[in-house]
Structure formats: structure tokens, C-alpha cells
Amino acid sequence: MAATQTLDRTLTALADPTRRAILKRLSSGEARVTEVARPFSMSLNAISKHILVLERAKLVKRRKVGRDHFLSYRAEPLDAAAKWIDETRDFWASRLDTLEQLLRAEDAARK
Amino acid sequence: MAATQTLDRTLTALADPTRRAILKRLSSGEARVTEVARPFSMSLNAISKHILVLERAKLVKRRKVGRDHFLSYRAEPLDAAAKWIDETRDFWASRLDTLEQLLRAEDAARK
DNA sequence: AATATATTCAACCTTTTGGTTGAATGTATT
DNA sequence: AATACATTCAACCAAAAGGTTGAATATATT
């Protein structure tokens, strides 16, 4: 699978506050679906769907024990996301040609 | 505006590969809308909309000069995103460190 | 065996997203 | 003044997202 698609899934999963909250919850320990859902004011089904999105992004792993599904947090996909952000964010800091950019912008504006 | 909503906008903006490509392009210097659109195989209008999403997330700033709109990249919103990711990602790493320290301290006290 | 619990599946609904095309607006150029 | 260029606005469309409710499935408990 293309790396860009993996990144898409990761960032899409993170772009929703409910899913971020679920992840934070799981980052401090395993929990069952119902436990995860409890604090939220939406239906269990809605949470079940959010969990699916997180699973598809490999941010959550599921372990089934009888009727209980234990969910756990996986950090790995965050590495690629953090990497992309850092690369993009630091672009100018890591280059000293800010001056060149300014000049180019000025030049473009003139013509 | 709630911090969570700002983060939503940032991550939503980043979750699309076209928008990430636009950002990368702009991170190496200002460009006009048409210039930004050129490499893509979709309509100018589609790109115009993507730019709007990036602007709403404050990742792109617009400077109008006559009929030209110059777009520039802004890194600031990435800080919050990077922060959230790092906090979440490192959770167990830092916790295990603390636990290890506690155990080591206990051990030292015992002997 | 009957019932309760944990979870998903399925169907549905509304809003948002990501794209299209065609027209409008404002600014340069000739 | 006529025309070309840069950009957005508006209407439309299909697909996806995020939620709901009700039924189905599988496992525990009594």
C-alpha cells in the first residue's frame, strides 16, 4: 500500500476529536468497547464505528476474549505522521535561504 | 475558538494528499493560485477549494496583488498537531521511564 | 433452558467533502 | 475599447462521514 495512503488514514483518524479522545483513553491502557464508549454521549454503535476507523489506521488493535473485545493502542502509525509534520514544519528553519525566498517573492510581485 | 477545533481543522487539512502536496510546494516558497494548481490533474476550481481549506486551517496565507493572489505557507498550526502527536505517542515511553526510576530508587533504598 | 450482556450488522438519514462545469468579477494588455 | 488572464462564485453531483435505531450473533450467567 502506498505510504501516502497510510498517512491519509492516520491523519483522517486523528482529525476527529472523538477518535482522539478514544486514543488517549487507550494510550493509558487496554479497555473493552463498552468501557471505551461509556464517557461519550453518543451511541455505542457510533463508537464502534470510530473504533473501526482507528483500527483501519492501525492505531488500535483488537484482542477478542469470549464476548469481550479488548482494544489496545498502537503508536507506530504516529511515527510517519510526526515525520511528515516535522519535515514540513522545519523546512525553513533547516535552510538559511529565507532571504532568497523573500527576494523571489518581491521579484514575482514586481512583474 | 476551542483548541480542539483548531486541531481538527489542522489535521483535516493535512489528511488529504492533494493538500499536503500543495503545502509542500508552498513550504519552498510563495506561489500564485494558478502556479500551485498547474502540476495537478484536477480543475483550477478544485484546487481553489483545497486552498480554502488550508486557509481556514491557517496553514496558508493569501496576499492579493492586483489580480494575482500570492499564497504562502505558515508553519504555526503544525506545532499544536506535532505536540498532540508527541504527547500521545510517547505516553508509555515516559511512563515506563518513571516506573523504572521508581523501581531503581526502591532498589537503592533497599541496599 | 431462559435471560442478560457484549458486540456487530444493516438500513437509513443528514451533512460534508471533493470534484465538475459555466458564469461572474476584477485586473492587465493590446 | 476589446480582449485575455487570474480568480472566485454558484449550482450541481456522487460518494463518504458521522450519526441514529433495530435486529442479529455469540457468549455468559442464573
R_g (Cα) of chain B, nearest Å: 21
A59/chain B closest Cα distance in angstroms: 10
Instruction: Name every chain A residue with its beta carbon within 8 A of the beta carbon of B89.
Output: 75, 78-79, 82
Residue B9: CB atoms within 10 Å: 19
Contact flag B17-A28 (C-beta cutoff 8 Å) = no
User: Whose grid coordinates read 523546512?
Assistant: A91
pLDDT for A62 equals: 98
Of B92, A28, B97, the residue nearest B105 (C-alpha): B97
Minimum mean pLDDT range among A97-106, B3-12, B72-81:
A97-106
pLDDT for B93 equals: 62
pLDDT for B4 equals: 87
Bases on strand D under 7 Å from any protein CB:
5-10, 17-22, 26-28
pLDDT for A48 equals: 98
The answer to whether residue B102 scores a pLDDT higher than 80 is no
pLDDT (mean) for B92-100: 61
pLDDT for A110 equals: 47
pLDDT (mean) for A75-84: 96
Q: Mention every residue, 6+ apart, whose C-beta is less than 8 A from residue A11.
A: A81, B11, B14, B15
Residue A96: CB atoms within 10 Å: 8
B80/chain A closest Cα distance in angstroms: 11
pLDDT (mean) for A44-71: 98
Domain A3-110 has CATH 1.10.10.10: yes
The answer to whether residue A99 scores a pLDDT higher than 70 is no
SS3 A77: helix
Q: Where are the domains of chain B?
A: 3-110
Instruction: Name every chain A residue with its beta carbon within 8 A of the beta carbon of B80.
Output: none
The answer to whether residue B90 scores a pLDDT higher than 50 is yes
HEC secondary structure over B14-72? HCCHHHHHHHHHHHCCCEEHHHHHCCCCCCHHHHHHHHHHHHHCCCEEEEEECCEEEEE
Count of pairs with CB atoms under 8 A, one residue in A, one in B: 85
Read off the pLDDT of residues B9-40 as tens digits, 9 standing for 90 and up: 999 999 999 999 999 999 999 999 999 999 99
pLDDT for A96 equals: 46
